Amino acid sequence: MTAAEANDSGSRPAMPVTPGYDVALAANVRPPGWTNPKPASNYHLVIIGAGPAGLVAAAGAAALGARVALVERNLLGGDCLNVGCVPSKALLRSARFYADLDQAPTFTGGAPMGSDADFPAVMERMRRLRAHLSRHDSAERFQSLGVDVFIGEAAFAGPRLIQVAGAGLPFSKAVIATGARPSRPDIAGLDECGYLTNETVFNLTERPRRLLVIGGGPLGCEMAQAFARLGCSVTIANKERYFLPDEERDAAEILANALRRDGIEVRHNTVVTGVSREGMEKRVRLVNDHQESTVVVDEILAGVGRVPNVAGLNLEAAGIAYDQKRGVLVDDHLRTSNRRVYAVGDVALERKFTHMAEATARMVIQNALFMGRKRLSSLTIPWCTYTDPEIAHVGLYVQDGRKGGHPLKTFTIPMSDVDRAVLDGEDEGFVKIHVREGTDTILGATIVARHAGEMINEISLAMVAGIGLKTISQVIHSYPTQAEAIRKAADAYQRTRVSPFLAWLSRRWLAWSR
Amino acid sequence: MGYFLRAANPANGLIADSSRDSAPCSIAATGLGLAAYAVGAERGFLSRGDAAARTLAALRFLSDSPQGEEEDATGHRGFYYHFLDMQTGRRVWQCELSMIDTAILIAGVLTTGCYFTAEGNDEREIRECARFLYERVDWPWATAGGSVLRMGWKPGAGFLSYGWEGYSEAMLLYILALGSPTHPLPPDRYGAWTRTYQWENLYGIDVLFAAPLFIHQLSHIWIDFRGIQDAFMREKSCDYFENSRRATQIQQQYAMRNPRSFAGYDEHCWGITAGLGPGFTPRQYEHGLERQYHGYVARGVPFGPDDGTLAPWAAAASMPFAPEIVAPTLRHVRDRHPHAISANGLLTSFNPGFKNNGGGAGGGGDGAIRGWLSPEHQGVDQGPVALMLENHRSGLLWRLMRGCPAIVAGLRRAGFRKGWLGSASR
Ligand SMILES: Cc1cc2nc3c(=O)[nH]c(=O)nc-3n(C[C@H](O)[C@H](O)[C@H](O)COP(=O)(O)OP(=O)(O)OC[C@H]3O[C@@H](n4cnc5c(N)ncnc54)[C@H](O)[C@@H]3O)c2cc1C
């Protein structure tokens, strides 16, 4: 399928449409001929939306013996499985493979191997793996867990009633987990010329020759790099001065250099002002600090933020407060303005990640069904952008720390100081761990490394368990591993504890005991 | 020193950006040149009268040249365009009105005001012009209503969206802006700027981090940071001078580690900073090492970009901070890379491992020419060397500027205390 056809499937594709693996996917997440069960007279919990948040809430509540209904209007698995994390990471892996092939001389010392990516095959692999993973999220599986799975668009019909496909689902408690969708960029001519979003880009079967990516956030950077490595000529237009504006500047600069090395034309501080079509081509007008330019591309991919799905839920009928931008409004216990209704995942959270969707879903089972008092603000939340190198973060940023009046100190280990990273040819990046000045208490960390997403988990564990750098430096890390970078940072901290007096004392002792 | 004597237009005092033919004037080079005249006069490279005459030509031009919103003015609101035509002194290349380059220019202007203290018409006029030029700059305007100073402005288009955040050479800009008697920047803006600082332990060294070396030098040309502390440095029990010493050590540490195995790098061969390079080449491989070269980029350590291009001038400009590692480095460059020192004794950038495969500038095109040598000298390279070596030898500029009311007031308003500033607040 070409992008033009992909576009025609509209903003919410009913179903990935290619034959083959997508049929297997559909059999799991939208079984043809599915008949909704007969609704129970009352549910402990009704969940709207079967993305990661809804699925975790449903499985968890059912396992604890609750009577649960789960409503999905489109595909079980939500964005994550169908048009988000899963297909994107599958593509990134293939892209990384081709990038490694390009680097053949650094591994063999010999000549470049030069291999042009087989784009259709890469997309087919992605579909195969997506279908494979969809088994976990299948309607049948959830039914077997004792969940009543309803396919259809849910809406509130009152403070204790949800309506779906003509049936009423009365509830004691309900969870809104309807997720988010891509924002539509407001650019003259864009709608007419057609563009891709995460909802359509994974339906491509032919490689666009030239691609413009709009947006320098995680989605834009990941996809720009993947497509460039798969052989597209990619331009990325980022309206900010740096990529990933939330992240550390060093991280963003390393990323910009990495994207440039992959041959991507990086346009920071650049706004797309208009698009026009000329034959099969799209002419895009860009403005950078008041200077106009034009790029000609075959396809445009927009990744300019995500807006919560609140429309059509008839939230007013249940007295649930919401905001078009922030989504369903919740308190620290994830409860909405209707005490019986909670909201989790992308529809309610600023940090839109699958692990957040799942963590908040677990909290809500406690809070909604077992009078729990779990708090959103108590969570330690890591995240990662899966570019190459990856950029992972947890906890405070230095700037926030300084604003909050905490003196901070950062222990920095370049990956080029880590043996395994050097041996792997993956020595770009760093580990930076921020501690409260004068203590070993970890307040946050940023890791830029090829496997930063794996490495950040150690820091999250330390933060949640209240483990400081002193203890980390005592933990034996196997050699050689890239995660040793974390221990090295802890060692650097330990060395700052050796006061001149202690050093003097130990020299005296050694001299005396010789 | 010689650079500035050669690169100046005696008629208007403007100094060329580089030794390249037809290079325009850079206002930063002009500011560095003005300070160099004072040094030159003191050292006897030129007579005091000649230095005063050169200075006066520049100050008169700067005072009288057109300021305003026109596309081809020389400046606006007391600021100046980054590049000016060497003859007419008008804006060229559609360049931006540059806040940092204006600060460097004004620092040079103030230096002349502090140096030429004799009676006599010329020197009196220099002092008057210097004061006029400084007091005319409308620093708060350059925040565009925000909390930090913007990097630039263009007629018609307005302010560039970038602001000065994160530790950098803009320290000088902030101090001058805070110290103004006529258009002072509110002191809380200094707090907004230091809020983006990052205090790191890197290679076992505690440092206020910034990757390119020149960042740790530029403000120090004029400001004697030894022993004075703002709130941030009080918190860290450090000062900016000591910090630059550590940043210099980090450069050396990086070169010793030489993570990308570049030719020439070692304990006595380093100096990685913003500047010219061999020019852009596609990615290539040499003996299993990936190489990609760049033209002008802000090179830095330890996270790059680094393409093997060294700037010995940047090492030299660190002399006051760490003579014990800089002096051997300069000797090493002289012995091992003599071509990096030109006939008239100027240091330039070079890339000892660059292999020209046809792409990029410099070298030949025959596929195996080793090494790249900067074809030109730049005012913003040569100035810091001459001025910092002078500070190292005699402390001349530091001494002059310790008596400069603008610098003293700026430092005090930024919260600097102790050392030569004393602890009295004003
Ligand atoms: C390209 C891309 C890559 C990503 N990569 C990552 C990653 O690597 N790591 C990560 O952590 N996060 C990633 N994310 C984010 C992640 O996908 C989301 O945070 C996650 O899917 C949120 O889960 P959710 O359950 O809140 O919402 P969703 O997954 O959006 O699920 C909501 C579900 O609710 C359904 N629904 C909506 N309205 C109704 C209604 N009225 N009735 C019935 N059903 C309804 C929807 O059809 C949908 O299936 C990525 C996102 C994108 C777009």
A147: domain CATH number?
3.50.50.60
CA torsion angle B131 B132 B133 B137 (round to 10)? 110
Query: A52 pLDDT exceeds 80?
Result: yes
Q: Does A271 touch chain B (CB under 8 A)?
A: no
Q: The domain containing residue A288 runs over which residues?
A: 190-305
Query: B260 pLDDT exceeds 70?
Result: yes
Task: For residue A492, give the chain B residue with the closest CA.
Answer: B204
Judgement on whether residues A176 and A320 belong to the same structural domain of the protein: yes
Mean pLDDT, rounded, for A486-496: 97
Give the pLDDT score at B242: 98
Read off the pLDDT of residues A298-307 as tens digits, 9 standing for 90 and up: 999 999 999 9
Domain boundary among A341, A358, A381: A381
pLDDT band at A17 (very low <50, low <70, confident <90, very high): low
> Does the distance separating the beta carbons of B257 and A417 come in below 8 Å?
yes
The CB of A385 under 6 Å from ligand 1? The reply is no
Judgement on whether residues A276 and A194 belong to the same structural domain of the protein: yes
Give the pLDDT score at B67: 98
pLDDT band at B367 (very low <50, low <70, confident <90, very high): very low
Domain boundary among A339, A364, A381: A381
Query: B351 pLDDT exceeds 50?
Result: yes
Query: B55 pLDDT exceeds 60?
Result: yes
> Does the distance separating the beta carbons of B201 and A409 come in below 8 Å?
yes
**Beta partners for residue B83, in sequence order:** B26
Specify if A506 maps to a domain: no
Judgement on whether residues A231 and A285 belong to the same structural domain of the protein: yes
Q: Does A427 touch chain B (CB under 8 A)?
A: yes
Judgement on whether residues A154 and A224 belong to the same structural domain of the protein: no
pLDDT band at B150 (very low <50, low <70, confident <90, very high): very high
> Does the distance separating the beta carbons of B158 and A437 come in below 8 Å?
no
CB A309 within 8 A of CB A349: no
Give the pLDDT score at A403: 76
Give the pLDDT score at A81: 98
Judgement on whether residues A161 and A202 belong to the same structural domain of the protein: no
The CB of A392 under 6 Å from ligand 1? The reply is no
Specify if A96 maps to a domain: no
Q: What is the mean pLDDT of chain A?
A: 94
Sequence-distant (6+) residues with CB within 8 A of A161 are: A168, A169, A170, A171
∠ CA A174-A180-A181, rounded to 5°:
145
What CATH number has the domain bearing residue A479?
3.30.390.30
- Restricting to B residues 122-181, those with a Cβ less than 8 Å away from any Cβ of A are 154, 156-158, 160-162, 166
Give the pLDDT score at B38: 97
Give the pLDDT score at B361: 44
Give the pLDDT score at A16: 57
Q: How far apart are CA A319 and CA B194, in angstroms?
A: 46
Give the pLDDT score at B426: 43
Mean pLDDT, rounded, for B327-350: 88
Judgement on whether residues A335 and A374 belong to the same structural domain of the protein: yes
Q: What is the number of other CB atoms lying within 10 angstroms of the CB of residue B363?
A: 20
Looking only at the bridges linking them, the beta strands covering B199-202 and A408-414 are parallel
Give the pLDDT score at B424: 53
> Does the distance separating the beta carbons of B154 and A290 come in below 8 Å?
yes
Specify if A482 maps to a domain: yes
Count of structural domains within chain A: 3
Judgement on whether residues A280 and A426 belong to the same structural domain of the protein: no
Give the pLDDT score at B364: 38
Q: Residue B377 Cα, ligand 1 centroid: separation in angstroms?
A: 56
Give the pLDDT score at B366: 40
Q: Give percent of chain A above pLDDT 90.
A: 86
Pick the CATH number of B2-192 from 1.10.10.10, 3.10.105.10, 1.50.10.140, 3.30.1330.60: 1.50.10.140
Residue of B303, B306, B307 to mutate for A, most A C-beta atoms under 10 A: B303
3-class secondary structure per residue, chain B: CHHHHHHECCCCCCEECECCCCCCEEHHHHHHHHHHHHHHHHHCCCCHHHHHHHHHHHHHHHHHCCECCCCCCCEECCEEECEECCCCCCECCCCCEEHHHHHHHHHHHHHHHHHCCCCCHHHHHHHHHHHHHHHHCCHHHHHCCCCCCECEEECCCEECCCECCCCCCCHHHHHHHHHCCCCCCCCHHHHHHHCCCCEEEECCEEEECCCCHHHHCHHHHCCCCCCCECHHHHHHCCCHHHHHHHHHHHHHHHHHHCCCCCCCCECCECCCCEECCCCCCCCEEECCEEECCCCCEECCCCCCCCCCCECHHHHHCCCCCCHHHHHHHHHHHHHHCHHHECCCCCECCEEEEEEECCCCCCCCCCCCEEEEECCCCEHHHHHHHHHHHHHHHCCHHHHHHHCCHHHHHHHHHCCCECHHHCCCCC
- The SS3 call for residue A7 is helix
Q: Does B200 touch chain A (CB under 8 A)?
A: yes
> Does the distance separating the beta carbons of A410 and B303 come in below 8 Å?
no
Specify if A256 maps to a domain: yes
Specify if A104 maps to a domain: no
Judgement on whether residues A44 and A152 belong to the same structural domain of the protein: yes
Provide the residue type at B34 as one letter.
L
CB B372 within 8 A of CB B356: yes
List the one residue out of A439, A435, A459 whose CA is nearest residue A447.
A459
Query: B304 pLDDT exceeds 90?
Result: no
Task: For residue A412, give the chain B residue with the closest CA.
Answer: B202
Query: What distance in Å separates residue A466's CA from the closest CA in chain B?
Result: 22
Query: A101 pLDDT exceeds 50?
Result: yes
**How many residues in total does chain A contain?**
514
Judgement on whether residues A55 and A172 belong to the same structural domain of the protein: yes
Domain boundary among A305, A330, A360: A305
Q: Residue B33 Cα, ligand 1 centroid: separation in angstroms?
A: 60
Q: Give percent of chain B above pLDDT 90.
A: 84
Q: Does A270 touch chain B (CB under 8 A)?
A: no
Read off the pLDDT of residues A132-188 as tens digits, 9 standing for 90 and up: 999 999 999 999 999 999 999 999 999 999 999 999 999 999 999 999 999 999 999
**Cα–Cα distances in Å, from B17 out to A301, A434, B216?**
42, 41, 21
ipTM of the complex: 0.91
Looking only at the bridges linking them, the beta strands covering A430-436 and A408-414 are antiparallel
Q: Where are the domains of chain B?
A: 2-192, 259-380
Judgement on whether residues A283 and A408 belong to the same structural domain of the protein: no
Give the pLDDT score at A9: 37
Q: How far apart are CA A93 and CA A95, in angstroms?
A: 5
Read off the pLDDT of residues A233-274 as tens digits, 9 standing for 90 and up: 999 999 998 999 889 989 999 999 999 999 999 999 999 999
Specify if A40 maps to a domain: yes
- On chain A, the residues whose CB falls within 8 A of the CB of B154 are 289-290
Give the pLDDT score at A3: 46
Nearest beta carbon to residue A241 from set B162, B196, B211: B162
Q: Which position has the higher pLDDT, B86 or A22?
A: B86
Query: B217 pLDDT exceeds 70?
Result: yes
Q: What is the mean pLDDT of chain B?
A: 93
Provide the residue type at A245 as one letter.
P
pLDDT band at A114 (very low <50, low <70, confident <90, very high): confident
Token pair belonging to B324: 């014990």
Specify if A37 maps to a domain: yes
Mean pLDDT, rounded, for A20-40: 93
Give the pLDDT score at B343: 75
Mean pLDDT, rounded, for B377-381: 91
Query: A362 pLDDT exceeds 50?
Result: yes
Read off the pLDDT of residues A403-424 as tens digits, 9 standing for 90 and up: 777 789 999 999 999 999 999 9
Give the pLDDT score at A113: 83
Q: Does B188 touch chain A (CB under 8 A)?
A: no
Specify if A280 maps to a domain: yes
Judgement on whether residues A291 and A340 belong to the same structural domain of the protein: no
Q: Residue A206 Cα, ligand 1 centroid: separation in angstroms?
A: 26
Q: How far is CA A341 from the centre of its chain?
A: 26
Residue nearest to atom 27 of ligand 1 (CA): A179
Return the sign of the alpha-carbon dihedral for residues A419, A421, A422, A427.
Answer: negative
Token pair belonging to A213: 């990516």
Judgement on whether residues A443 and A490 belong to the same structural domain of the protein: yes
The CB of A50 under 6 Å from ligand 1? The reply is yes
